[in-house]
Structure 1
C-alpha cells in the first residue's frame, strides 16, 4: 500500500496496480530506503540538532513552583503545585523525548499530583497506581471523558472513548454485540487471511534495511480495512490507501502546537482528513443498511441491544472513525515492540516458536490462539515496557479531590499508565525484558489492582481488547512460523517518539531470516 505525498497534500497519490492484484507492503530495496523511511514521521523536537542536550538541561532545571488554585478554607486539602515549563511549548520537549521516564522523574520529585501549566492545555498530571485507581474507577463520577476534547475532539468527535456516563453505557451496550465471541470467530478468520498473505509474500528477508514499523502499520491497516470495512485484500487499493492515509493524518494532528483550521498547518490537515473520512463512511453506511455482512461496519449497521435500540447513521460514522484509529495504531505498536524484544531475546523467541510449531500452518481459530501462552506473556511484557496508549485524559465535572489535592471543576487531568508500568515498587528491575514476571508465583502485575492497565480500566476499558490480542497473536504466530527474527546489529535499541502512540524513530529495522 505504498504512496507519496507532495507538499500540502492531505491525500496520497497511489501507485498504479493491476486490477485484483495484492500490492506488496514492502517490495524492493529501493522501497526500503526511500518509501518506508519517508513513512516514518517524527516530531521536530526529536530530530532537530541539539535537542538531546536541550532535553538534559530542561530535565535538570529546577522550575519555580506555583499553586493551581487555593483549596477551600478548612478543607485540609493541599493545593496542586507545578510550573509552566518553556514559553508556548511547556514541557513538550521532555515529554516527547522521554515519555514515561520524564513522568517518572517528576513523580519521584513532586509526588503523584502535579500541575503542568501549559499555555496550550493546562493540565494536572496524576501519576502512580493509586491515582490510576481513582481516575479509572471514578466512583463518584467526578471525571469526564471531555479531557480528550482539546487533544482529539475535533478529529474523533462522538467516538465511544469521548462519551460519558449513561450515554456511554447506552452506546457501549449496542457496540458490545459486535465483539461477542461468535463475531470474534469470524474476525479471526479474516485477520489470518490477510496476515498469511502479507507475511508470506510481501516482506523482504535477509535485509537489515527492512523497516518493521511501517510494514507492520500497513499490515494492520490492511487487516482493519478487511475486518472493519469489508475491503478484500487487493481490491479498491486507491480508495483504501486514501482512507488509511486520512486516519494517519487525524491521529497525529492532535499533537499540533498551532491549533488553527488554516492551511497548511497540521491541525487543518487533520480537519480535512476528518471530513474525508466522514464522506467515506456516510456512503458506506448507506450501502450497508439492510444488507448482510460479517465486517464490523455491516455488524454496526445491523446490531441492536436487548431493547431494540440501534445506532443512527451519524453514530456509526463517528464510531467507525474512532475504532479504525484505535484498532490499527495500538496493534502496530504492540506487534512491532514484541518483534524487537523477541529478536533481542532468542530464548523467548524459541519458546514462542515451539508453541507455534505445535499448531503448525493450518487455519487458525480462537481455541488454537489461546494455546499460545508464551506469546501472551511476551505481549504483556512488551506493552508494559512500551505502552501503546500513553495517557488517559479526563476533566473534572465538579470541585473534587485527588489523593488529598484540590481539583476545581473544569480541571484537565492526565493519567500516565506507562509510567506506572516502570515503577520498581511493582516491577523489580523494571527496564529488563522479563515476561516471567507475569507468571505464578511472581504475578508482579497483581501487586496493585491498577498496576497494569495497558487497556485502561473501569467503565471505559478497551472494548476491543480481546480482538486486539487475537489479531496480534495471529501476526506473531505467522511471523514466527516463517522467520527467525534478528536485530540489525548487536545491542540495537530503538528510540521512541512519544508524541502520540510510541513510534520508533528509525522505523525499527529488523532482519527476517527464512526458516525453510
Structure 2
C-alpha cells in the first residue's frame, strides 16, 4: 500500500514540475516557503495533522516561519497559502480564483455543479438553485422539515437508552434533503437512493484509482446508479409539470425544471446540470448540517449553563404550542440564543476546515506573485481562531454573535463569502433549529464514549460517532 501511495504521489506531482519549469520569468517574486520533500511535498504531513486534529497548529507554525503568504506543495501541485481577512476577501471576491476539488470529488459529483463552473455558467446555476433556497420560499417548507424531524426522533430516539449521534443525524439530514430537494416520500425510491448515497460519500476523498474493488471505483459505480434513479425522478416530475399535476416550487427539482418556463429569460438547464447540482446540494447539505448538529449536542453536554439557556428558550416555545403542533417560521425566529450557539460551534469546528482554489491568471497580493495554474489553500481557522479577532478563541462563547455586525468582514467564513457564499445557509438554519428544538425539549444526555476526540479529515467526525445516554424529559 505504501508503494502504491508513493507512485500515486509521484504521478500527481508531475503538474508541479511542469508548472515550475514552464513558469515565465517575472519581476514579481514568489512568496517565501518550501516545497518540502521531492515528489510528496508536505502532503503526508498535512494529512497526518488533519487526522490528529492539529491542522491549525500545522499551518500556524508555517505562518510564524514564513509569514501569512507562503508557498508549499500539496497533493502534487504548487500551492500558495493565504491567511487573514484581507486574504479571504481576495479569494472570495476575485474571479481569478475558482474552486478546485480533488479529482475523486469532481469525478463522483459531476462536472456541471455550480462549484465547478465559472462566469455566466456559474451565475445561472447559482441563481437557479438560489430561487429555491431563498427565505421566502423556504418558509413554505418549515412544516415538511418539522414532520421529518419528528418522525426521526420518534423512530430513532424515543424509547432508546443510548444512541450514536452522528450516524443518526446523517440519516435525518438525508431524509430532509430527500423530502425537500427531491420531493421523495418515504418508500422504495428513497431507500434505494440512500443505499447508493452511502457508497457515493465514502469515495469522495479517496485516491482516484479506477480499478475494481477500490473505494473510488465503488463510489463511481454508486454515483452512476444514483444518477439513474434521479433521472427517473426528473422525468416523472417533468411529466407532472407539463400536465399541471404539481406546483413549480414543490421541491428543488421542479424548481429547476420550471425555471425556464417562468418568462424570466432563463435558459433551460440540461438534465446533466440538474442531476449534478441536486447531487451537489445533497452532499453539501447532508454532511455539513449533520456535523453542526452533532457538535452542538457534544458542546451542550460539556457546558450545562449553555444547555440550560438553550433548553429554556426551546421549552418556552414548546409551552406556547398545542400538543403536536408543528413549528412555524416565527417560532424559528425566536430561537436567537440557540442559533448563536450554532454560530459559535461553526466558528470553533467548521464543517469545512480547508479548501482549494485554482488560479486562472497571475495575481499580485501583498507584493507577492500568485502564479496562474497554481492552487490556493484557504482555511477557516486562521481568522476564526485568531485571538485578535475573537478574544480567547478556544473559549466557547455564543455571546460573540449577539451583534454579528461587530464581527470584522471576512473573519467568520464558515459559510464562505462573496459570490461563492453558501446559498443554503438559511436552509441549514431551519434544519438545525428544528432538530435542536425536538432534541433539547425532549431529552437530557450524557456522553458515553471512551474517546471524546475527533478528526478533521476529510470532515470533522467524533472518533466513536458520539454515543450518548438519553434521559427523556417527557412527551411534548
2:442 and 2:472 in contact (8 A); partners too: yes
Deviations 1:83-134 (A, max 9, x none): 3358645322123322333323333333223333235344322223222111
1:497 and 1:503 in contact (8 A); partners too: yes
Could you tell me how far 1:468 is from its partner in structure 2? 0.9
2:112 and 2:272 in contact (8 A); partners too: no
1:134 to 2:87 alignment = no
Equivalent residue, structure 2, for 1:253: 203
Structure 2: distance between partners of 1:423 and 1:289: 49
Q: Name the stretch that deviates more: 324-333 or 221-230.
A: 221-230
Equivalent residue, structure 2, for 1:39: none
Give the 5 Å matches for 1:299-448: 299-304=255-260, 306-360=264-318, 362-440=325-403, 446-448=406-408
Structure 2: distance between partners of 1:410 and 1:356: 50
Q: Name the stretch that deviates more: 159-168 or 463-472.
A: 159-168
Please point out which of 456, 461, 465 is paired with 1:498.
456
Give the 5 Å matches for 1:21-32: none
Question: Cα RMSD over matched residues?
Answer: 2.6
Give the secondary structure class of the aligned counterpart of 1:116.
strand
Equivalent residue, structure 2, for 1:104: 60
Q: 1:85 to 1:434 in 2, by over 3 A?
A: farther
Structure 2: distance between partners of 1:458 and 1:471: 23
Give the secondary structure class of the aligned counterpart of 1:413.
strand
Equivalent residue, structure 1, for 2:154: 200
Equivalent residue, structure 1, for 2:123: 169
Equivalent residue, structure 2, for 1:125: 81
Please point out which of 32, 35, 49 is paired with 1:94.
49
1:300 and 1:316 in contact (8 A); partners too: yes
1:184 to 2:134 alignment = no
Please point out which of 200, 207, 216 is paired with 1:267.
216
Q: 1:80 to 1:249 in 2, by over 3 A?
A: farther
Q: 1:295 to 1:268 in 2, by over 3 A?
A: same
1:225 and 1:240 in contact (8 A); partners too: yes
Could you tell me how far 1:281 is from its partner in structure 2? 1.2
Could you tell me how far 1:327 is from its partner in structure 2? 0.8
1:210 to 2:163 alignment = yes
Give the secondary structure class of the aligned counterpart of 2:431.
helix
Q: 1:151 to 1:86 in 2, by over 3 A?
A: farther
TM-score, normalising length from structure 1?
A: 0.79
Could you tell me how far 1:430 is from its partner in structure 2? 1.1
Structure 2: distance between partners of 1:468 and 1:334: 9
Could you tell me how far 1:388 is from its partner in structure 2? 0.6
1:278 to 2:241 alignment = no
Could you tell me how far 1:202 is from its partner in structure 2? 1.8
1:84 and 1:118 in contact (8 A); partners too: no
Structure 2: distance between partners of 1:384 and 1:418: 8
Structure 1: distance between partners of 2:272 and 2:411: 37
Higher helix proportion: 2
Instruction: Give the paired residue count.
Output: 438
1:487 to 2:436 alignment = no
Deviations 1:199-236 (A, max 9, x none): 133216674x5211111111111111212222223x22
1:468 to 2:428 alignment = yes
Runs of 5+ consecutive residues of structure 2 not aligned to the other structure: 3-18, 241-245
1:340 and 1:510 in contact (8 A); partners too: no
Runs of 5+ consecutive residues of structure 1 not aligned to the other structure: 1-43, 46-66
Equivalent residue, structure 2, for 1:288: 237
1:455 and 1:462 in contact (8 A); partners too: yes
Could you tell me how far 1:398 is from its partner in structure 2? 1.2
Q: 1:349 to 1:250 in 2, by over 3 A?
A: same
Could you tell me how far 1:402 is from its partner in structure 2? 3.1
Please point out which of 223, 226, 230 is paired with 2:183.
230
Deviations 1:235-272 (A, max 9, x none): 22xx4344234334333423223x21112112212211
1:219 to 2:172 alignment = yes
Give the secondary structure class of the aligned counterpart of 2:210.
coil
Q: 1:495 to 1:99 in 2, by over 3 A?
A: farther
Give the secondary structure class of the aligned counterpart of 2:357.
strand
Equivalent residue, structure 1, for 2:106: 153
